[in-house]
Structure 1
Amino acid sequence: MSTINRTQLIATLRQALEQNPAVCAAWEGGSAAFTYMDELSDVDAVVVVEDDAVAAVFDAVEAALAALSPIDLRHDITGTVGYQQRFYRLRDASPFLVVDLVLMRRGDPLLFREVELHGKGTTWLDRYNLLSTKHLDAQADLAQAMARLPALRAAFDMFQHIPTKERLRGRAVEALSFYHAMTLRPLVEALRIRHCPHLRNFGLRYLDRDLPADVVARIRELMFVSDLDDLERKHAQAQAWFWETVG
């Protein structure tokens, strides 16, 4: 049974961060920075620390969480540039109430403050007035989105034979996997460039939030395939939609 709620978890995080002098700023992002937080949302905490204090702040946060509830699972994200990220699941909290903790050094320029991408986060702490609101340069961002189209078209055109040949071989699992990766994912990227170019890199996440309802319904129909004959039909439909979109 869950005994730790969201309010308690956030209070614990905030106290641990506020009491640590190496923490320069902290805020809650994710769904809380937009309008779609619900009872299944996790806690997205973003923290700016002194350049030499990343490990120490992680340790301090983990100690505070462990005092609230034993940490059931920790997962480190590797290969990130400009920040470090860890996830925590607590034994006495809902399995959905995961802590997504991002730490970045004060000397790094990446702050995830662009409102169009990251919403309006709830500030927990800002010792040095680091958390100014930023906006994308809409014209430059749109130019980058449009510059992506030639490569997107070329890759799509090159690889549609792969789901087709696996279907013809009767390899349903491989055919479906390549259809999702090589047909639907670039189709969704093209649709995002058309409808919400600044969100073009979000892939299949947040479709209901970002794209028109009729577009989402059509994608959903293409995602679920019953057999190889159905795959053949939907593959053809998805290809036609892609070329219509990028045209």
Structure 2
Amino acid sequence: MDLQAIVPDAHVEAVFVAVRQALETLSPIARSYRLPEPAWHGLSQEFFQLAEADPNHLVDFAVIPASKLASARLLERERHGEALVLFDRGGHLAPPPLDWEEHLAKAAARLATMRSTVPLFAPMVEKAVRRGHLAEAAAFYQALVLKPLVELLRLRHCPERYDYGWRYLDRDIPPADRALIERLAFPADPPALLRGVEEATQRFVAEYAALDAGEWRLPSAAERAAR
């Protein structure tokens, strides 16, 4: 369960104490983890696993410091969906519009980068297999071949979340592409791994060829903002 609260900066720690106490009225806390700060997102965040709950059900609690700019609160509908607001006495949680100009500039830069890096580094998978470094080959395959293909498919079909990696593929890319990624993600042995590299690379090249042929493109900021 994802929970967030916007809190005056001076009261952040007191809120974490209160949340922990509230959870302990429901169940003992089996384990928890507080992200070291400053965290990548600029929020304060802690994960809780309750002893009397299914271990798959975590409480993910994040505090948004009130001093945080609205654009940095992770509330843009386009990327994070519609927040369920329980109460907002001061009107602090109105979702800001995504800055499409900035976002699409980053997307275009990533599109250009992968065009160069994937053909350059994909052969490292085969090299690792030939050397008998199979764990290294598997890691290279995921990081240098398959993850960039996921990003490329996201850039085509869901540019607002092009950087979400493997998450939400069921809603962000076409079913056939999701099936392709899931099949390629589980090679049975080194020969299957190398076949996966070949198939993923071919699809990668085909996507860029389609881009160059005008079959798809990144939208303009005006087009996306008008939706």
Shorter-chain TM band = 0.7 to 0.9
> What is the DSSP-based 3-state SS (H/G/I as helix, E as strand, rest coil) of the residue aligned with 2:179?
helix
> What is the DSSP-based 3-state SS (H/G/I as helix, E as strand, rest coil) of the residue aligned with 1:191?
helix
What 5-or-longer segments of structure 2 have no aligned partner? 210-227
Amino acid at match of 1:89: Q
Matched, 1:84 2:84: no
Q: Deviations over 1:62-95 (max 9, x none)?
A: 0111122111110122333420111001111222
Amino acid at match of 1:67: T
Q: How does 1:9-158 map to 2 (within 5 A)?
A: 43-78=1-36, 79-109=39-69, 110-138=72-100, 140-158=102-120
Q: Deviations over 1:145-170 (max 9, x none)?
A: 12221212222122112111011112
CA contact (8 A) 1:170 1:228 kept: no
Amino acid at match of 1:161: P
The TM-score, its normalising length taken from structure 2, stands at: 0.85
Number of equivalent positions? 205
Q: Deviations over 1:32-55 (max 9, x none)?
A: xxxxxxxxxxx1001110011111
The CA deviation at 1:138 is 4.0
After superposition, the Cα gap between the structure-2 partners of 1:81 and 1:216, relative to the gap in structure 1 and judged at 3 Å, is: closer
* Alignment-derived partner of residue 146 in structure 2: 184
Q: Deviations over 1:78-114 (max 9, x none)?
A: 3334201110011112222210001121001122221
CA distance in 1, matches of 2:161, 2:12: 29
CA contact (8 A) 1:69 1:92 kept: yes
The CA deviation at 1:123 is 0.8
The TM-score, its normalising length taken from structure 1, stands at: 0.78
* Alignment-derived partner of residue 218 in structure 1: 180
Q: Deviations over 1:193-226 (max 9, x none)?
A: 0111111111011111211001011111211111
RMSD (Å), alpha carbons: 1.5
CA contact (8 A) 1:89 1:97 kept: yes
> What is the DSSP-based 3-state SS (H/G/I as helix, E as strand, rest coil) of the residue aligned with 1:53?
helix
The CA deviation at 1:137 is 4.0
CA contact (8 A) 1:149 1:246 kept: no
CA distance in 1, matches of 2:131, 2:57: 44
CA contact (8 A) 1:164 1:175 kept: yes
CA distance in 2, matches of 1:67, 1:220: 41
Comparing both chains, which one has the higher relative contact order based on Cα–Cα distances under 8 Å and sequence gaps of 6 or more? 1
Matched, 1:229 2:187: no
What 5-or-longer segments of structure 1 have no aligned partner? 1-42
> What is the DSSP-based 3-state SS (H/G/I as helix, E as strand, rest coil) of the residue aligned with 1:148?
helix
* Alignment-derived partner of residue 196 in structure 1: 158
